Structure formats: structure tokens, C-alpha cells
Chains A and B, each alone.
Chain A
Amino acid sequence: MRALAANIEEVFREAAARWTLLAYFALSSLFILLFAVAVNLDVVNGALAGAKIFGANVHMGRESVDLDKLVLGFESGFAGFLYVVGTFLAIFATAHLVPRLMEKGTVDLYLSRPVGRVPLLLSRYLGGVLLSASNLLYLLGSMWLLVIWKTRLVHPRFLLAAGIILFGIAALMAFAFLVGTLTSSTAVSIMATFAVFFLSIVLANLHGHTAMFSSEWAVWLVNGLYWIFPKIVDIGRAVVGLVSGENGPIRDRGALALSPFLSTGLFGLVSLTLACLRFRRKDF
């Protein structure tokens, strides 16, 4: 346990020493700061009577706007935006974890300790997930507190969206680990993971329009791949749906169905299992 904790701590130290993570925190902080300074809301009896963005008045019309709806709209949109950006940054910040471990001269130092290969890899994975979670919590948590400060409205679901975003990141990170164990290359891990990300979006769009395919095998292929790949689009809808609740678009209201989570979780689990098997059998 002590060895695994040291390994997780090492992941954080390594991340702190890398510019990508510092850049992520710096960008996140800048975004939070801009939002804090730029947006000034005039709230009267729970409704938005006036707003200023960067000092300029926003035209509100004759009627005051329902503040709760406005904030929920912002939070759900921001959560969806963060789902994409957060996933990209998380993969960038953690894809090196396996290739760096497997470098000649480094792997010997780790494997010569009394730690099994699978626990070593899994502790690295856990370190990566915790790292992504800390980034997400920093950004979402800060925005959540800012919204409370500016509007006095508390929407805990916005914070809970971090859980779903992290679930998507964890599944993709497992795939990045698998590619890392197979190729020992950070660049290939990033490219392959992003390829899965985009391909799953394409598959999600094609999946609902199988009538456009002329051959049976093409339909079978698209449907098969759709169920194998992680459900990036469905998970994104679930993030928006969770935050907006009944106020969101109709297409997102039933988005918290179980099957996309199960198939995405299975994708991550299979990827991680294969990564462990490969790492366990490899000769260094």
C-alpha cells in the first residue's frame, strides 16, 4: 500500500513538473478570473433586472429574465463545454504516464521494487484519474462558487456533472494506457485516443441513420462499432441533461439512461484489462 501511494504521489509530482498541467491550471484560473471580473448581475426579487458584461449594459427588454433558468442554461452549456475541453486536456496531461514508465532506464527502477506489475500500472492509472479529478474540481468548483457568489443560486447538479465527465475521461484514459503499453509512445497514445473520441461522435451520428446505407454489412459494421466504442455523445448529453434537468432541451432529458454508461464502462474496463495483461507479459 505504501509503495502504491508513493507511485500515485509520483504521478502528481511528475505532472507538477510538466508545463501542460501548469498551462491547464493557468488557463483555468484565467477563465475563472475573467468570469469573476467581467460579469455583473443586477438581481431584483430573484429575477435578473440588469446585467453588465465587461462594463457594457446588456439589453434585457421590458420584462425581467428568470435568473434560475438563465443560470441553469449557462451551467449546462459550460458543463458541456468543459466535458470536451476537460477530456482533451486530461488526455494530454496523462497520456505520457505509461510510455514514460516504460522507458529504458526508468522501468528497471520501478519493477525492481517489491510491487507487482499490475498494481504498479493500476496505481499509475489511479494517479492519472485523481489528477484529472483535481483539475475538474478546480474548474467546476470555482465556477460553481462564483455563480453562487454572483447570483445566490445553488445548483449542486452542476458540481455532480464532474462525476460524469470524469467517467468519460477514465474510459478514454484506459484506452490511452492500452495504446501506451502496446507502442510505448505518448504521441501515438494521444492520437489514437483522440481518434476514438472523434470516431465515436461520427458513429453516434451514423447509428441513428442506418437507412442511408445500401448494404447490410455496412449497417452491421456501424452498429457494431457504435456499441464497442465509448458513447462520447451520449455521455455529453448526460452531462448537459444532469445539469439542466427539466429546463434543458428535450433531446437531453432522457440522456441519463444506463446503457451508454454500461457500454462506455465496459470499453474502459476491457482496455485497462488488456493494458494490464500486456504490461504483465512484456519483457523489458
Chain B
Amino acid sequence: MTAAIEVRGLRKTYRPAFGGRAIDALAGIDFAVQPGELFGLLGPNGAGKTTTVKILLGLTHATSGEASLLGLPASDPESRRRVGYLPEGHRFPGYLTARQTLSVFGRMSGVDHRTLKARIPGLLERVKLADWIDVKVKKFSKGMTQRLGLASALVHDPEVLLLDEPTDGVDPVGRREIRDLLRAEASRGRAVLLNSHLLSEIELTCDRVAVLRKGKVAAMGTVEELTKKREEKISSNGYKLVASPLSEELLSDFFERGASPERVNGHVRVLARDAAHLNQLVDATRARGALLTELTPEKSSLEDVFVDLVRAGDPPSDSPSSPSKKSESAA
């Protein structure tokens, strides 16, 4: 089966016009997104997420490597006929109404006037903008503009969706509606590539994610796979322990037993190496006369995975090249 989106050995080097140091925005990345899959692209600022999406859409030229959409090279404008794109910080002409906006961009995607006339009201209904169909875009709030952007990405019924921060400026209810809409598109066999800083959104929406760091894929897999890997790597697991009273003596006991206790909003977070160690901590709690009311294992989140991966790529704080070290030596 042809991948909906495929990237192989993709590199992009930005060379300043008047000399200076070249910057490797992408240092050879590979991934593929299949039809019906919701794929998240994560990474800190400057990791190469937007550059990847821009290369896929022909907005930026790759230095080397391959990028294709539905089997066609990304450099071919025809590859974009079945692709919907929502750019970050998009600016629709303010003098157009929602209907005119979708009509202009729909026709630019090759859809005929009659089809658009029938499709646009339903599409605006889907993104909850039906009441604003003949209102000029300049009167729209940020969230409404974002919904219109989503409608514009869907107007030609594309097979691939590339969305850059689709929930930016959208309220929580709207976010859920957008998530539901994206799931509905994926269930129709549409491939969705989501580029977002909101890790919780990605965690809730995507089937698979890739974390980019310094222009390379640092990790890729399902959210479960990535969090499980992290839990396997770490030597002790965190637990939320709620007991009353949580005295200082009890915390000292936990500390002596190597549980690294930490008070968090009325409860204590402890680290246990294994089941035996955890039971020792429970015994210590009871021995101090405290009543145990809750003991919950902490699950690794996508955010934990992300932070670990990003930190792993940073130079260690005691390395000679770290900025803090440099400033200390200078002082």
C-alpha cells in the first residue's frame, strides 16, 4: 500500500545569503504515515517540524532526500490536489466572507463552482460556523478563523491532512470538537499529520507520534510504546501516596528508605524500586499511625517522554560547552 505521506533521508540546510554559519534544520529524517492514521509531529522550537511540513507542501525546497504525498513527489504541484493544509498563523483575506473564502480556495484546489455551492454550507456547519457564512473574515475571532482554516483544508475533500497547531486559539469545547472531527476524518481513511506544541492534544488524538530533536527523529511509535519504554528504562516508579497525618517524621522515614519523598498539593510522591520496597513504605506509614487513604501508581505521560528526549539532547550542565559553565568561567 502506498503511504499517504513518506519522508526519506530528508535534509534541509539554511545557508545565510551573506556568509555566516549554515544551519541544519533537518539532518536526515525518515517516517511514513499510512491512510487512516493520525500521526503527531512533536519537538521543541527549531526541531524541524514546520520545515518538514513546508517541504511536504513545496513551500520550502529540500537540500536532499525525498518527500512524497500519495506517491507523488512533494515538489510536484499535482501532489497537493488531494492534500488539505492548515498553516500556523494563517491569514485569510479579511474582505472575503466565509463562503467566498472557501469558494476561492476550493476552486484553487480544482473543485468546480457547483460542487462548492452544495458543499460549503455543510462544511461550515461541521466546523460550527454556519451562522457566520456571509460574514466577512475580518470580523472573526481567532478561534473562528482557526475553524474556517480547518474548513478550508477540508473543502476539496482531501485524502491527506497536514495541520499546524489546529487548536491554537480554540476554546476547550472547540478543541474537543476538532479532535472528534479529525478522528472522523481518519476513520474515513484520511491520513492526518498533526503538528502541535500541545502534547495533551497529541496524546489524546494521535495513533502514532514522532519526536524531532535538532533535525532528527529522536523517537517514534505509539504513545503507549513510548511511555512504556520510558517506564522500563527508569529504575524506580513514582506513586501518589495520600495518608493522614503526613508528619515530618514519616517523611524522614521515607527519605531514609530511599523513597525520595516530595510533598505535592496535600499528598506525597514517593519512588519505589519494586513491590517489596513499596510495601516497606506502606508499613512505615502504618507504623507512624497514619491512615493510608490512596496509593496510585504514576503513569508516564507523553510530556515526560518529550521532556526526557529533549533534555537528553541538551549538553550536560557540567560540560565545558554549556552556556552556564562558560558564564561561570568568564566570571
Contact residues of A with B, CB < 8 Å? 2-3, 5-7, 9-10, 13-14, 16-17, 103-116, 281, 283-284
Q: Quick one: which of A14, A112, A115 contacts B93, CB cutoff 8 A?
A: A14
Q: Are B108 and A113 in contact (CB under 8 A)?
A: yes
27 example contacts (A-B, Cβ-Cβ < 8 A) are as follows: A2-B111, A3-B107, A3-B108, A5-B107, A9-B104, A10-B104, A13-B95, A13-B104, A14-B95, A105-B89, A107-B59, A108-B54, A108-B57, A108-B87, A109-B92, A109-B105, A111-B59, A112-B59, A113-B80, A113-B105, A113-B109, A114-B78, A114-B80, A114-B81, A281-B61, A283-B14, A283-B61
Cross-chain contact B60 with A112 (CB below 8 angstroms): no
Instruction: Tell me, yes or no, whether B143 is within 8 Å of chain A by CB.
Output: no
The answer to whether residues A109 and B59 also contact, given A3-B108, A7-B108, A114-B78 and a CB cut-off of 8 A, is: no
Task: Tell me if B21 counts as interface (CB < 8 A to partner A).
Answer: no
Known: A108-B57, A281-B61. A115 touches B95 (CB 8 A): no
Distance of B68 from chain A, by nearest CB (Å): 15
A106 to chain B, nearest CB (A): 5
Q: For the complex formed, measure the closest distance between the CB of B141 and the CB atoms of chain A, giving whole angstroms.
A: 16
Q: Chain A CB within 10 Å — which of B78, B87, B100 has the most? A: B87
Q: Is B242 an interface residue (CB 8 A)?
A: no
A85 vs B152: C-alpha distance in the bound complex, in angstroms? 40
Complex interface: chain B residues within 8 A of A113 (CB):
80, 105, 108-109
Q: How far is the CA of A106 from the CA of B108 in the complex (A)?
A: 14
Query: What would 4 more interface pairs be, CB under 8 Å, given A109-B87, A113-B80?
Result: A3-B107, A5-B107, A103-B91, A104-B89
Q: How far is the CB of A121 from chain B (nearest CB, A)?
A: 13
**A106 and B94 alpha carbons, distance in the complex (Å):** 11
Q: What is the CA–CA distance of A237 and B85 in the complex, to the nearest angstrom?
A: 51
Q: How far is the CB of A18 from chain B (nearest CB, A)?
A: 9
B266 beta carbon closer than 8 Å to chain A: no
A6 to B58, CA, bound (A): 20
B residues less than 8 Å from A284 (CB atoms): 54, 59-60
Chain A residues whose CB sits within 8 angstroms of the CB of B77 once the complex forms: 114-116
Q: Shortest CB–CB separation between residue A13 and chain B, in angstroms?
A: 7
Cβ contact within 8 Å between A112 and B83: yes
Q: Give B98-124 as 1s and 0s: 1 = Cβ < 8 Å from A's Cβ atoms.
A: 001001110111111000000000000
A283–B108 CB distance below 8 A:
no
Residues on B with C-beta less than 8 A from A110 are: 108
Contact present for B60 and A6 (CB under 8 Å): no
| Shortest distance between the CB of B137 and any CB in chain A (Å) | 11
Is the C-beta of B233 less than 8 angstroms from some C-beta in chain A? no
B71 to chain A, nearest CB (A): 15
A105 to B94, CA, bound (A): 13
State in angstroms the CA–CA spacing of A19 and B253 once bound together.
77
Report whether A112 and B61 are in contact in the complex, using a CB–CB cutoff of 8 Å: no
List, in ascending order, chain A residues with CB within 8 A of B100's CB: 13
Q: Is the C-beta of B96 less than 8 angstroms from some C-beta in chain A?
A: yes
Please provide the chain B residues from 262 to 299 with a CB less than 8 Å away from any CB of chain A in the complex: none
Give A16 to B96 CA distance when docked, in angstroms: 11
- Determine if B59 and A108 form an interchain contact, defined as CB atoms under 8 angstroms apart: yes
Chain A residue contacts of B110, Cβ below 8 A: 2-3, 114
Contact B92 A3 (CB under 8 A): no
The answer to whether B152 and A109 have CB atoms under 8 Å apart is yes
Inside 8 A of A6's CB, which chain B residues have their CB? 103-104, 107-108
A110–B104 Cα gap in the complex (Å)? Answer: 10
Which partner residue on chain A sits nearest B162 by CB separation?
A112
Smallest CB separation, A103 vs chain B (Å): 7
Q: With a CB–CB cut-off of 8 A, which chain A residues contact B109?
A: 3, 113-114
* Bound CA span A3–B87, Å: 20
Interface residues of B in 169-189 (CB under 8 A from A): none
A108 to B84, CA, bound (A): 11
B90 and A108 contacting across the interface, CB-CB below 8 Å: yes
CA distance A114 to B155 in the complex (A): 13
Out of A13, A105, A106, A283, name the residue touching B60 (CB < 8 Å). A283
Which one of B61, B104, B152 has the highest number of Cβ atoms from chain A below 10 Å of its Cβ? B104
Residues from chain A with Cβ under 8 Å of B93 in the complex: 10, 13-14, 17, 106
**Contact of A112 with B107 at beta-carbon distance under 8 Å, contacts A105-B89, A106-B91 already known:** no
Closest residue of chain A to B54, judged by CB? Answer: A284
Measured CB to CB, the nearest residue on chain A to B106 is A6
Q: Which among A2, A13, A105 is the interface contact of B90 at CB below 8 angstroms?
A: A105
A105 and B59 CA atoms in complex are apart in Å by 12
- Which residues of A have CB within 8 Å of B152? 109
Provide the B64-91 mask, 1 if CB < 8 A to any CB of A, else 0.
0000000000000111110101010111
